[in-house]
């Protein structure tokens, strides 16, 4: 009879080395899923952080980040289908649908409005950038909304630029040249630049465009009451100062007479093809169509003093400080750093504290030339010893800086000039590019707020911010129903199922968790502050307690700390940027998580609405598939080695997938010390740490229950004839054990990336009657629950899992698991009442704690 069952089981086994090769192939697919899942979640986390508006980035960042996400998701889907024998083909449809939608968003080109060739500066504002370019749109906002003085003028629009390019039929040539350009090859870059600039400068000006320019110029002369007015010709590319600064990339012509207007217009347009500008926009990932150039024609300011002003100190943006640099003459020497400047620091809410620092005497200055152009002259002796700004002028500038920052909702970088009559003009205002590491002002406050009790001061930031509210401790999904609005979610583990209450939460605090997990991703999506890995939040924080969560410095305070809460950002740098909006738009198709509960009928490939859903679904299914494959595969003995051990004298067959057995181990036998698989070593240590005492003493009812249970189990003899399998790799093990009348399967992966780590465990069966087997299952579940496993019990079967923790954390749990597997042998026979269950529970905890160190 034993032979009969053995042959039946072996019919399922693969012959020769095929079983190992198949397992290796599937294991590699499984590893690829874990690897790509981790990389995708890391990239998504970084994109979410950038989307807060506190960090600077450009179009190239969005494109490259999305390419990584899309490639990773595709690899996850492909490898899941390899692992499951094409069971999840519908997942490809979900991937393609999201990928197409996101790529359409990314490839959407900026539309150039059908407008006139010229627009008066007095009629434009920040919403005019599609026609006027970013720089002039912001300048128009200063003049026409804030009432700042700017030089009068007009704009030659982006539509005029498009007309100019198409009239000369050079648009296709420019696209071809820029499309194939290798900007890393300097010789190729300079040669292409010269060719393209020459093409533009030699191009013909369309007669109607030229007529429109001169008509607008004559109107400008009339408005200021000066014939043959000298002007400045300034660049204003479509996204200049909005999607990227383009600072210093394009040319400006100063003090231009009427007869040179057309030439200087073409010079400014051609400057978008200088080597530095080509490199900049190609490196930033822009398209040529997005480089449409508007050009500003403004009355020339004969500046006595000019300079640059920052509404914040980039080194200390949290302080209410305005920085001003000033030079004699035109501002070109200030922005170029050509001459020493007078530097002014204006601090205090009233703006009355002014500190001046002269970096050296200014000996030369740039001035306007009578017949056009500029010239360098010595600084007059009467000016050389004077401050370049009066106290009143400094305060006037600082006041304007604060108004501009408040209006635009972010720090400003401004250029200004004061003419020889003492009148102040603004020439530019653009977002101040703060260093990414300094862009969040609350980081500069004290790490600890004095006078408030700190309850927790340890953890990792999963989602930045601050929040306060009543504590609500959630131990399982059943607790979620009562979660209050603005509650602080306090949890032991960061389970994805808890995401359903994040829209109502003011903060999240956990004992354990990874910043790359699903709950962290959703917390960042909803902008909910979150601190993970506090170790003891569920022990220190109690229901109803009012707390303030500082997810900037990872502190949790007792009570409501207003000093922290009022620092919530009211204006984020970069908020108005279209590139920020584009990132936020595509994240709506990437990061929302709809699939939180694997038991839901919607937990299917068709239920995956976002890329995050795909990673969640694929991760869950990958664990299920690799586990079931290992459980259902019966390796032929020819492909396995035999484990020889006196400690646990059972038949063990070891299959090494690579790196799980010591390289020098030869022959068909291996010893326990030959196994170098990290998770298997930990599990074996738990199996052998405490010698098994043998079967517990059995009463008559226990003996009869075993006989009855054996008689009713159809595969009892088959199970007794089974081998025990250990499938190992360096960071992986799958252990199938059949000890007497019960069997268990354990699978684990442990590595440096905690988001990839997991343990899965199934225990089932026994020799006693149903009631005693069920009690043992509940007993095992109770032990594992205490050691942080997620446990589900169905009659005499236990299903347990733990994931997303450090290697060391899981090694300790594997030791616990090893002990449980060995020391629950035949225990069902004595589980005749709950009192015995409690006695064995305490006894086993005492044994486990003798060799395992775990903080609960």
3-class secondary-structure state, position 641? strand
**Residue 624 and residue 599: Cα distance in Å, rounded?**
13
Marked catalytic residue, from 518, 612, 819, 823: 518
> Which residues on neighbouring strands pair with residue 295, listed in sequence order?
156, 235
Q: What is the 8-class DSSP label of residue 374?
A: E
Joined tokens for residue 85: 């024998």
Q: Is 419 helix (H, G, I), strand (E, B) or coil?
A: strand
Measured in whole angstroms, the distance separating CA 809 from the mean position of its chain's CA atoms is 25
Token representation of residue 172? 């296709």
Nearest C-alpha neighbor of 613 from the set 526, 503, 522: 522
Read off φ and ψ for residue 472, nearest 5 degrees. Answer: -135, 110
SS3 label, residue 292? coil
Q: Show the 3-state SS of 699-765.
A: CHHHHHHHHHHHHHCCCHHHHHHCCEEEEEECCEEEEEEEECCEEEEEEEECCCCHHHCEEEEEEEE
462 vs 183: CA distance, rounded Å: 38
Q: Are 159 and 131 in contact (CB under 8 A)?
A: yes
> Which burial class, exposed, middle or buried, applies to 575 when counting CB atoms under 10 A from its CB (0-12, 13-18, 19+)?
middle
| Coil, strand or helix at 229 | coil
Which two structure tokens, joined as six digits, stand for 583?
Answer: 């990132």
CA 564 to each of CA 198, 363, 465, 578, 598: distance values in angstroms, whole numbers, following the listed order = 58, 49, 10, 30, 38
Do the Cβ atoms of 308 and 335 come closer than 8 Å?
A: yes
Q: How far is CA 636 from CA 19, 658, 669, in A?
A: 7, 18, 15
**Cα–Cα distance for residue pair 158/292, rounded to 1 Å:** 6
Rounded Cα distance, 805 and 757, in Å: 6
With beta carbons less than 8 A apart as the criterion, state whether 727 and 734 touch.
yes
Could you confirm whether 819 is annotated as catalytic? no
Q: Quick one: residue 369, left, alpha or beta (phi over 0 = left, psi -120 to 50 = alpha)?
A: beta
Beta strands in 335-373 (DSSP E): 342-347, 353-358, 364-368
Are 415 and 426 spatial neighbours (Cβ–Cβ below 8 Å)?
yes
Determine the 3-state secondary structure of 365 from DSSP.
strand
Q: Helical H runs in 234-331?
A: 261-270, 275-283
CB 292 within 8 A of CB 158: yes
In 3D space, the residue among 739, 724, 736 whose CA is nearest the CA of residue 629 turns out to be 736
What are 377's two structure tokens?
């002259």
Strand residues in 150-264 grouped as ranges (E): 153-156, 231-237, 252-256
Between the CA of residue 830 and those of 166, 696, 771, 774, what are the distances in Å? 91, 7, 11, 12
So which residues are the catalytic ones? 518
């Amino acid at each position: 009879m034993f032979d009969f069952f053995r042959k039946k089981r072996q019919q399922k086994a693969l012959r020769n080395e095929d079983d190992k090769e198949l397992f290796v192939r599937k294991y590699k697919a499984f590893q690829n899923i874990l690897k790509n899942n981790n990389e995708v979640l890391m990239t998504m986390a970084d994109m979410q952080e950038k989307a807060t508006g506190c960090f600077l980035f450009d179009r190239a960042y969005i494109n490259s980040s999305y390419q990584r996400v899309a490639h990773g998701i595709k690899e996850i889907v492909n490898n899941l289908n390899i692992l499951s024998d094409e069971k999840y083909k519908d997942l490809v449809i979900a991937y393609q649908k999201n990928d197409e939608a996101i790529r359409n968003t990314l490839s959407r080109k900026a539309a150039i409005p059908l407008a006139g060739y010229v627009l008066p500066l007095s009629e434009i504002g920040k919403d005019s950038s599609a026609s006027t370019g970013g720089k002039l749109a912001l300048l128009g906002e200063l003049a026409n909304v804030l009432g700042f003085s700017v030089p009068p003028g007009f704009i030659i629009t982006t539509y005029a630029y498009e007309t100019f390019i198409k009239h000369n039929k050079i648009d296709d040539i420019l696209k071809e040249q820029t499309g194939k350009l290798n900007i890393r090859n300097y010789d190729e870059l300079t040669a292409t630049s010269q060719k393209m600039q020459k093409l533009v400068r030699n191009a013909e000006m369309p007669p109607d465009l030229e007529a429109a320019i001169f008509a607008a110029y004559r109107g400008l002369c009339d408005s200021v009451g000066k014939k043959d007015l000298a002007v400045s010709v300034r660049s204003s590319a479509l996204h200049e100062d909005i999607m990227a600064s383009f600072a210093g990339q394009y040319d400006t012509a100063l003090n231009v007479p009427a007869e040179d207007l057309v030439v200087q217009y073409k010079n400014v347009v051609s400057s978008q093809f200088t080597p530095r500008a080509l490199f900049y926009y190609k490196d930033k990932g822009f398209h040529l169509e997005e480089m449409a150039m508007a050009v500003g024609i403004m009355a020339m300011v004969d500046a006595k003093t000019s300079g640059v002003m920052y509404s914040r100190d980039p080194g200390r943006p949290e302080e209410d400080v305005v920085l001003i640099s000033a030079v004699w003459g035109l501002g070109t020497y200030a922005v170029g750093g050509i001459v020493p400047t007078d530097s002014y620091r204006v601090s205090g809410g009233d703006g009355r504290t002014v500190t001046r620092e002269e970096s050296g005497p200014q000996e030369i200055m740039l001035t306007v030339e009578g017949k056009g152009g500029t010239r360098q002259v010595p600084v007059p002796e009467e000016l050389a010893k004077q401050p370049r700004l009066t106290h009143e002028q400094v305060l006037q500038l600082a006041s304007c800086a604060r108004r501009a920052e408040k209006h635009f909702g972010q720090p400003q970088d401004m250029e200004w000039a004061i003419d020889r009559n003492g009148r102040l003009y603004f020439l530019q205002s653009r977002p101040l590019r703060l260093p990414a590491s300094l862009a969040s002002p609350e980081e500069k406050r004290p790490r600890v707020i004095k006078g408030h009790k700190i309850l927790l001061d340890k953890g990792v930031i999963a989602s930045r911010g601050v929040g306060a509210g009543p504590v609500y401790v959630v131990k399982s999904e059943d607790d979620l129903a009562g979660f209050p609005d603005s509650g602080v979610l306090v949890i032991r583990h960061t389970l994805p199922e808890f995401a359903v209450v994040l829209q109502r939460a003011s903060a999240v605090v956990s004992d354990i968790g990874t910043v790359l997990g699903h709950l962290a991703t959703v917390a960042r999506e909803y902008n909910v502050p979150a601190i993970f890995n506090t170790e003891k939040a569920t022990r220190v924080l109690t229901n109803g307690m009012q707390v303030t969560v500082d997810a900037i410095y990872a502190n949790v305070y007792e009570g409501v700390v207003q000093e922290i809460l009022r620092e919530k950002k009211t204006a984020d740098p970069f908020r108005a940027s279209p590139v920020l909006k584009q990132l936020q738009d595509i994240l709506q198709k990437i990061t929302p998580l709809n699939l939180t509960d694997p038991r839901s009928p919607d937990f299917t490939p068709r239920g995956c609405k976002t890329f995050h859903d795909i990673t969640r679904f694929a991760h869950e299914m990958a664990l299920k598939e690799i586990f079931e494959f290992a459980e259902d595969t019966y390796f032929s003995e020819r492909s396995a080695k035999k484990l020889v051990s006196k400690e646990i004298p059972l038949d063990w067959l070891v299959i090494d997938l690579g790196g799980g057995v010591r390289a020098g181990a030869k022959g068909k036998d291996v010893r326990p010390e030959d196994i170098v698989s990290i998770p298997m070593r930990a599990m074996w240590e738990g199996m052998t740490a405490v010698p098994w005492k043998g079967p517990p003493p059995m009463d008559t009812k226990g003996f009869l229950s075993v006989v009855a249970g054996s008689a009713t189990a159809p595969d009892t003899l088959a199970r007794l004839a089974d081998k025990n399998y250990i499938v190992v790799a360096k960071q992986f093990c799958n252990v199938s054990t059949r000890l007497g009348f019960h069997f268990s399967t354990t699978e684990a992966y442990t590595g440096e990336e905690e988001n990839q780590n997991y343990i899965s465990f199934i225990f089932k069966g026994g020799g006693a009657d149903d009631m005693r087997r069920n009690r043992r299952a509940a007993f095992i579940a109770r032990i594992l629950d205490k050691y942080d496993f997620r446990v589900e019990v169905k009659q005499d079967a236990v299903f347990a899992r733990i994931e997303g923790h450090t290697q060391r954390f899981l090694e300790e749990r594997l030791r616990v698991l090893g002990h449980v597997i060995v020391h629950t042998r035949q225990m069902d026979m004595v589980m005749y009442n709950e009192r015995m269950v409690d006695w064995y529970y305490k006894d086993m905890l005492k044994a486990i704690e003798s060799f395992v160190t775990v903080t609960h």
